[in-house]
Chains A and B, each alone.
Chain A
Amino acid sequence: MPATIKTTHPPLEVQPVFTGDSAPLLRAPEKIQSIFAVTTAAACLPLMAGWLFFGYHAVIVSVVSVVSCVGLEWLYYRVTHSPALFGRAHAYLTGVLLALTLPPFTPWYVVALAAAFAILVGKAVFGGVGHFLWQPALVGRFAAAVILPALAQLAPVGETGKTVTLTPAQWPLLARDHLLLGDLDNVAQDRMYSYLGWSDRTAPPGAEGFALPHPADTLGPLTRGEEPAYSALAYPRTDAPNREPAVLTVLPPVGDFLFGARPGGVGETCAALILLAGLYLVYRNYVKWQLPFAFLASAALLAAVAPVRLAGPNQTIEWTWFPLFTEGLDVGFTYVCYQVLSGAMLLAAFFLATEMTSSPVTTGGQVIFGVGGGLIAMGLQLYFDTAIPAYLAVLAMNTLTPGIDALWLPRVFGQKHFAWLRRR
Chain B
Amino acid sequence: MTRRYGIFTGGIDIPDEKQATLDEPIAPAWEAEVLRVPLAPCGGQAAEPVVEPGQDVQAGQRLAEAGPGGVDIFAPLAGTVRAVAPVTTAVGRQLLRMPAVELVDLSGPREIPTGPETFDWSSAQPEELRRRLDESQLTTLRRRPQPLGRWVRRAAKAGCEVLVVNAMESQPYVTADHRLLVEYGEEVMRGLAILARAIGAKRCVLAVDRRRTGDYDHLLAPAEHFEVEHVALPHKYPIGSDPILLKVLTRREVPCGGGPLDIGAAVIEPAGCLAAYFWVARKVRLNGRVVTISGEHVTRPANLFVPFGVDARSLLHSARPPYIMGGPMIGTLCEGDAVIGPATNVLLAIDPTPTGSPSQCIRCGWCRDHCPTRLNVAVLNDLYELARVESAELLGVLSCMECGVCSYVCPARLPLTRRMGELKHAIRRLRPGPAARDESLAHPHPETT
Contacts and interface: CB of A to CB of B under 8 A. Distances in A.
Interface of A: 7-9, 12-17, 19-28, 30-32, 34-35, 85-86, 128-131, 285-286, 288, 356-357, 359-363, 405, 409-415, 419-420, 423-424
Contacts of B410: 27
Given A35-B411, A130-B360, 20 more contacts: A14-B45, A14-B46, A15-B98, A16-B94, A16-B97, A21-B355, A23-B407, A23-B418, A27-B355, A27-B407, A28-B411, A31-B411, A35-B364, A85-B360, A86-B359, A361-B376, A413-B372, A413-B399, A414-B256, A419-B394
Contact of A409 (B12, B45, B328, B395): B395
Contacts of A414: 243, 253-258, 373, 396, 399
Interface of B: 12, 14, 40, 43-46, 49, 52-53, 83-86, 88, 93-99, 172, 243, 247, 253-258, 322, 324, 328-334, 350, 352-353, 355, 359-366, 368-369, 372-376, 378-379, 394-396, 399, 402, 404-405, 407-413, 415, 417-418
B333 A24 contact: no
B362 A17 contact: no
Q: Is the interface of A mostly helix, strand, loop or mixed?
A: loop
Q: Is the interface of B mostly helix, strand, loop or mixed?
A: loop
B413 A24 contact: no
A47 B25 CA distance: 59
Contact of A14 (B40, B255, B330): B40
A15 B96 CA distance: 5
Nearest to A410: B374
B413 A27 contact: yes
A373 to B, nearest CB: 17
23 contacts: A8-B83, A9-B85, A14-B46, A16-B95, A19-B322, A21-B352, A23-B402, A23-B418, A24-B417, A26-B172, A35-B411, A85-B359, A85-B360, A86-B359, A285-B366, A362-B365, A412-B256, A412-B375, A413-B253, A413-B256, A414-B256, A414-B257, A414-B373
A25 B53 contact: no
B291 to A, nearest CB: 18
A228 to B, nearest CB: 50
A13 B39 CA distance: 10
Nearest to A421: B394
A359 B84 CA distance: 58
Contacts of A413: 243, 247, 253-254, 256, 372-375, 396, 399
Contacts of B373: 412-414
A25 B328 contact: yes
Contact of A7 (B43, B49, B255): B49
Nearest to B100: A12
Given A9-B85, A31-B411, A22 B417 contact: yes
A363 B93 CA distance: 31
Given A12-B84, A411-B374, A414-B258, A28 B412 contact: no
B329 A30 contact: no
Contact of A19 (B12, B46, B334): B334
The 8 A-B pairs of least Cβ separation, nearest first, read: A24-B404, A412-B396, A413-B373, A12-B99, A130-B360, A25-B352, A27-B353, A361-B365
A32 B411 contact: yes
Contacts of A31: 411, 413
A16 B332 CA distance: 12
Nearest to A7: B84
Contacts of B374: 410-413
Nearest to B93: A23
Contacts of B411: 28, 30-32, 34-35
Contact of A26 (B14, B40, B43): B14
Given A17-B95, A20-B333, A361-B363, A26 B328 contact: yes
Nearest to B373: A413
Interface centre among B45, B93, B361 (most CB of A within 10 A): B361
A8 B413 contact: no
A22 B408 CA distance: 11
A80 B83 CA distance: 60
A207 B355 CA distance: 58
A17 B334 CA distance: 9
Nearest to B353: A27
Contacts of A361: 363, 365, 368, 376, 378-379
Contacts of A25: 324, 328-329, 331, 333, 350, 352-353
B331 A357 contact: no
Given A12-B86, A24-B328, A419 B352 contact: no
B365 A356 contact: yes
Interface centre among A12, A25, A357 (most CB of B within 10 A): A25
B415 A22 contact: yes
Contacts of B332: 19, 22-23
B376 A32 contact: no
A17 B331 contact: no
Nearest to B252: A414
B9 to A, nearest CB: 9
B44 A14 contact: yes
A261 to B, nearest CB: 35
Interface centre among B44, B329, B396 (most CB of A within 10 A): B396
A363 B369 contact: yes
A362 B377 CA distance: 10
Contacts of A128: 360
A14 B333 contact: no
B412 A24 contact: no
B399 A412 contact: yes
Given A12-B46, A22-B417, A412 B95 contact: no
Nearest to B396: A412
B97 A28 contact: no
B353 A26 contact: yes
A13 B99 CA distance: 7
Contacts of A419: 256, 394, 396
Nearest to B327: A23
A294 B418 CA distance: 35
A20 B324 CA distance: 12
A49 B413 CA distance: 36
Nearest to A33: B411
A158 B365 CA distance: 54
A24 B407 contact: yes
B260 to A, nearest CB: 11
Nearest to B355: A27
Contacts of A21: 333, 352, 355
B417 A357 contact: no
A174 to B, nearest CB: 38
Contact of A24 (B46, B49, B330, B394): B330
B279 to A, nearest CB: 25
Contacts of A26: 14, 172, 328-329, 352-353, 408
B428 to A, nearest CB: 16
B241 to A, nearest CB: 10
Contact of B96 (A14, A20, A405): A14
